[in-house]
Amino acid sequence: MNSRIPAVTALIEALGCDRVLSGDELRDRPCRDWSEEPSAQPLALLLPRSPQEVAAALRLCHAHRAPVVVQGGLTGLAGGANPAPGEIALSLARLNAIENFDAVGGTVIAQAGVTLQQLQEHVGTEGWSFPLDLGARGSCQLGGNAATNAGGNRVLRHGMMRQNVLGLEVAMADGTLVDMLDRVIKNNAGFDLKQLFIGSEGTLGVITRLSLKLEPARRASSTALCGVRSFQAATRLLRLAKEMLPGLTAYELMWDGFFRASAQAQGRRPPLDGHFPLYVLLESQGHAAPVCDSAMQEFLANALEDGCVEDAVIASSIEQAAGLWGFREGIAELLAHLKPCVAFDVSVALVKMNDLVEELRSDLEARFPHIAHLFFGHLGDGNLHLISGPYAAPEDREAVEKLVYARVGRYRGSISAEHGVGRLKKAYLPMSRNAGELALMARLRNCLDPQGILNRGRVLEA
Amino acid sequence: MNSRIPAVTALIEALGCDRVLSGDELRDRPCRDWSEEPSAQPLALLLPRSPQEVAAALRLCHAHRAPVVVQGGLTGLAGGANPAPGEIALSLARLNAIENFDAVGGTVIAQAGVTLQQLQEHVGTEGWSFPLDLGARGSCQLGGNAATNAGGNRVLRHGMMRQNVLGLEVAMADGTLVDMLDRVIKNNAGFDLKQLFIGSEGTLGVITRLSLKLEPARRASSTALCGVRSFQAATRLLRLAKEMLPGLTAYELMWDGFFRASAQAQGRRPPLDGHFPLYVLLESQGHAAPVCDSAMQEFLANALEDGCVEDAVIASSIEQAAGLWGFREGIAELLAHLKPCVAFDVSVALVKMNDLVEELRSDLEARFPHIAHLFFGHLGDGNLHLISGPYAAPEDREAVEKLVYARVGRYRGSISAEHGVGRLKKAYLPMSRNAGELALMARLRNCLDPQGILNRGRVLEA
């Protein structure tokens, strides 16, 4: 550890002591993410105030071969931002300016430490919307959203973070600052370099500024809950929804077990009479409520006639819509009953999802018969969630992880649809990625950060 | 040139003479793209029949340090596929199988040499649609579409090729075949490697297979032509259209000069009485004609009331819609009158587009007063086209190119929104990309193809 101290001394000299906290100054600073991964106290916490200061800090760390862990809003679930022993933490929190908002074309340039909610509120004043939306919006930062390619509630319509980024400014591992802040939607003038930094979890460079694409704010939405007979009916319903609802923003599938557990945890009565094997929550957005509602009614009439829906209810107020969403989003209450549990965020081709769920359920019920195994997900995106718990023994949790990821791998699915790899899922990455892919990732990592100082040991082996 | 012959001999030995054409066998083979860039006869033309054969060919070329030019449907406009002296041409034409079509989830795996139209027809039989659409659909190939990140008619709604690719298989310069054929929409399990190969014009690897995302086919559309008073009104109209028409697929702007020249070249009467400074062609798609039409009518009523539209006409039949599109797409007739001309495909932030157009028009009219300078573009994507001609003297064409690209660069626009760089625009790339970006591109190129055998001298200097 002593070998790092020259780096900290040099950083304090170069940036000043108000940008570099160390020792006792760190005691009360939150420095770990929302996962339960191990975390150490960093050697120092850097709080640069500009992209140039980020670059200067990296230049020094590079010169001293000092490993750096990059920190945004610390809302990650994969342990990627948790310091390992001997690391210097680099926080983007003070890069929190919205620099340029073009309310004509609908674009904005913001620094990496701006929170998602801060951006949403800022552009909302002019009737624009940044379509990415997550539960962590109040804390998560745009730089982290891009570094992890965040997903969230409206991916079906607006894509993940990647689809909403026009350009980036990135500080490379050696302290070079590269300006790729395009403001145009179409640009085939050379390689699309920003793509490399989106979703690579800070291992290839540190995002300092972002150019983002906005959408006109939607003034109205229509939400419905449907009871469905089979997975096959749910996929037919999805296709019909894509055909008939051009403003479709969400298509959430809940298996019966999840739906009932969620209702029970919240002490609420389901709004549909009768029980169904599956429930679908749909949302469609538009500019005016009557148009939205009549499109939803026409769609549901078609779906009932087609037979892919058994029963359905449309929310007739914002409160009712929030109530329907509550069944899907009441995860906090559910988790309170199921802890300690294992939560999964995987994806698989739609055509294979039902087989995967049935095999997983049968495996898990055979091995852990008295445990709840609850399935739900963003069906429209092929994204499947599973919460399984409570497990008292950590080795049981590990056994469940191995079992689930192995099956997902066999179906050529992804072990991480949204939440990234960080440190938590690194060991399972070879179940989703073949040797050729892993070798290519390592080659790129070595090309852009030959000393491996950035987020070492995250995503890939050090 | 003689130093290449051992490579050709080795290729014939390894692949067999039906996969390797050389000498006289090449005389009648089309071997150049749609641009007017220089082209040479290649040393040999490779016609592998499988991804494995592509990889084997590259392994040999790599061993012999023999430069390779990659060829798809030869419909490019930037000279990237035209052989330079001493190059071996690698055609993907025989990799033309559609291997796997998932009509439940709406995904397909196809080989790189499948034409866009072949794919569209194949998936159309089950009511699915691949949303990319270009005039060259009958010849252009999916591998080339991805390598150049093709755009086209419906980018506003469905994005460019990049947004519709789920996964790729790529043969690297050294002949390693890397399978990244994801079939899932969401995948944050490690770096998104495919992004690197999309839009890098075959300089980082050769795409051999693609996994693509489909959309349900839309059964109805509504098309309108509007007369508009000012650029500002056109941007307000665009925002209103994005708000009110969730199925909006096209928003094409035509300046008066272009519109009248196009009508005249086709000998057609404009469908609106009176003249307007700008014309907008709008298209919205949906599942049923009455819904589409009433949404378009409601939108136009709002736009007329708002004052951002002066007059408008809605097509009442497929023939009328094609007639309205004819004003925008009758470029072939126009070009016949303006040849030899210079055509541009640039993009710039919407908020700056009008200033750019006015400055370009004033510069060009001052310098070339008797020449037509016609502006139009996909306003919804910030993509501006300009056709300027006829110019008898090649040095005049070059002067126009320099003038236009310099202004676009000053506005931080892109010198190539859709068509790529190839060899034609390589000299102008520094006007759109700074030294840091160019250095990073060269670093990646060197990392993935250290001998520089793939499409050498395209996009970047050799």
Amino acid letter for position B67: P
Q: Which residues of A touch B301 (CB under 8 A)?
A: none
Nearest-CA distance from A427 to chain B in Å? 11
Domains and CATH numbers, chain A: 2-94 (3.30.43.10), 98-216 (3.30.465.10), 220-331 (3.30.70.2190), 339-440 (3.30.70.2740)
What is the rounded CA–CA span in Å between residue A301 and residue A28? 57
Tell me how far CA of residue A16 lies from CA of A46, A48, A64, A206, in angstroms.
10, 10, 18, 21
Q: Which residues of A touch B106 (CB under 8 A)?
A: 239, 350
- Grouping H, G, I as helix, E, B as strand and the rest as coil, residue A318 is helix
Nearest-CA distance from A171 to chain B in Å? 11
Helix spans in A182-309 (H)? 194-197, 231-244, 256-266, 289-306
CB contact under 8 A, A188 and B433: no
A295 touching chain B per CB within 8 A? yes
The predicted pLDDT at position A61 comes to 97
Cβ-based neighbour number of residue A25 at 10 Å: 12
The predicted pLDDT at position B47 comes to 97
Q: Which residues of B touch A108 (CB under 8 A)?
A: none
The predicted pLDDT at position A72 comes to 97
Q: Which long-range contacts (CB under 8 A, 24 or more apart) does A360-366 make?
A: A360/A386, A360/A403, A360/A404, A360/A407, A363/A403, A363/A407, A364/A388, A364/A400, A364/A403
B4 pLDDT above the threshold of 80: no
Average pLDDT over residues B212-228: 95
Kindly report the CA angle at B178 between B175 and B180, in degrees rounded to 5? 155
Cβ-based neighbour number of residue B296 at 10 Å: 26
List, in sequence order, every residue forming a beta bridge with A256; answer none if it has no partner.
none
Nearest-CA distance from B362 to chain A in Å? 24
Chain B, nearest residue to A459 by Cα: B190
Give the dihedral sign, CA B170/B172/B175/B180: negative
Q: Which residues of B touch A145 (CB under 8 A)?
A: none
Chain B, nearest residue to A437 by Cα: B178
The predicted pLDDT at position B1 comes to 43
Q: Are strands A177-180 and A165-171 parallel, antiparallel or unpaired?
A: antiparallel
Q: Convert the pLDDT of each residue in A346-357 to its tens digit.
A: 999 999 999 999
Q: Which residues of A touch B384 (CB under 8 A)?
A: none
CB contact under 8 A, B190 and A413: no
CB contact under 8 A, A187 and B106: no
What is the rounded CA–CA span in Å between residue A280 and residue A224? 8
CA distance from start to end of chain A: 18
B265 touching chain A per CB within 8 A? no
Nearest to A184 among B191, B349, B441 (CB): B349
B54: enclosing H helix or E strand? helix B51-63
Q: Convert the pLDDT of each residue in B135-160 to its tens digit.
A: 899 999 999 999 999 998 789 989 99
Nearest-CA distance from A262 to chain B in Å? 25
- Grouping H, G, I as helix, E, B as strand and the rest as coil, residue B279 is strand
Band of pLDDT at residue B329, cut at 50, 70 and 90 = confident
Question: To the nearest whole percent, how much of chain B has pLDDT over 90?
Answer: 89
A178 touching chain B per CB within 8 A? yes
The predicted pLDDT at position A103 comes to 94
* Sheet with B342-347, side-by-side order of all strands: B311-314, B220-228, B278-286, B248-255, B372-378, B383-389, B342-347
CB contact under 8 A, B433 and A149: no
Chain B, nearest residue to A240 by Cα: B216
CB contact under 8 A, A420 and B188: yes
What is the rounded CA–CA span in Å between residue B328 and residue B341? 18
Nearest to A441 among B186, B191, B204 (CB): B191
A185 touching chain B per CB within 8 A? yes
Kindly report the CA angle at B254 between B250 and B260, in degrees rounded to 5? 135
Q: Convert the pLDDT of each residue in B300-314 to its tens digit.
A: 999 999 999 999 999
Residue that wins the pLDDT comparison between A29 and B49: B49
A438 touching chain B per CB within 8 A? yes
Written as six digits, the tokens of A267 are 């002490």
Q: Tell me the helix, strand and coil percentages in chain B, rounded to 5.
A: 40, 20, 40
What is the rounded CA–CA span in Å between residue A442 and residue A58? 21
- Grouping H, G, I as helix, E, B as strand and the rest as coil, residue A282 is strand
B247 touching chain A per CB within 8 A? yes
CB A347 within 8 A of CB A382: yes
B462 pLDDT above the threshold of 80: no
The predicted pLDDT at position B337 comes to 87
CB contact under 8 A, A191 and B200: yes
Backbone angles phi, psi at B135, to 5 degrees: -60, -30
Q: Is B323 exposed, middle or buried (0-12, 13-18, 19+ CB in 10 A)?
A: middle
Helix spans in B154-213 (H)? 155-158, 161-164, 194-197
- Grouping H, G, I as helix, E, B as strand and the rest as coil, residue A21 is strand
CB contact under 8 A, A436 and B215: no
Q: Convert the pLDDT of each residue in B362-418 to its tens digit.
A: 999 999 999 999 999 999 889 999 999 999 999 999 999 999 999 999 999 999 999
Residue found by looking up tokens 């990140």 in the block: B149
Residue found by looking up tokens 């890397």 in the block: B178
A211 touching chain B per CB within 8 A? no
Written as six digits, the tokens of B451 are 């001998």
What is the rounded CA–CA span in Å between residue B327 and residue B255? 12
The predicted pLDDT at position B97 comes to 98
Nearest to B351 among A102, A219, A421 (CB): A102
Q: Which residues of B touch A351 (CB under 8 A)?
A: 102, 104-105
Q: Which residues of B touch A440 (CB under 8 A)?
A: 178, 193
What is the rounded CA–CA span in Å between residue A310 and residue A306? 10
Written as six digits, the tokens of A119 are 């951006």
B14 pLDDT above the threshold of 90: yes
- What rounded mean pLDDT belongs to chain B? 95
Question: In chain B, positions 80-139, which contact chain A (CB-CB < 8 Å)?
Answer: 102, 104-107
Written as six digits, the tokens of A96 are 């929190």
- Grouping H, G, I as helix, E, B as strand and the rest as coil, residue A333 is helix
The predicted pLDDT at position A59 comes to 98
* Sheet with B107-111, side-by-side order of all strands: B98-102, B107-111, B206-213, B165-171, B177-180
CA distance from start to end of chain B: 18
Q: Give which of B274, B278, B272 is closest to B259, Cα–Cα.
A: B278
What is the rounded CA–CA span in Å between residue A147 and residue A76? 11
Residues of chain A with pLDDT under 50: 1-3
Chain A, nearest residue to B178 by Cα: A436
Kindly report the CA angle at B191 between B190 and B192, in degrees rounded to 5? 115
CB A120 within 8 A of CB A130: yes
What is the rounded CA–CA span in Å between residue B87 and residue A313? 65
Helix spans in B203-312 (H)? 231-244, 256-265, 289-306
Average pLDDT over residues B256-267: 94
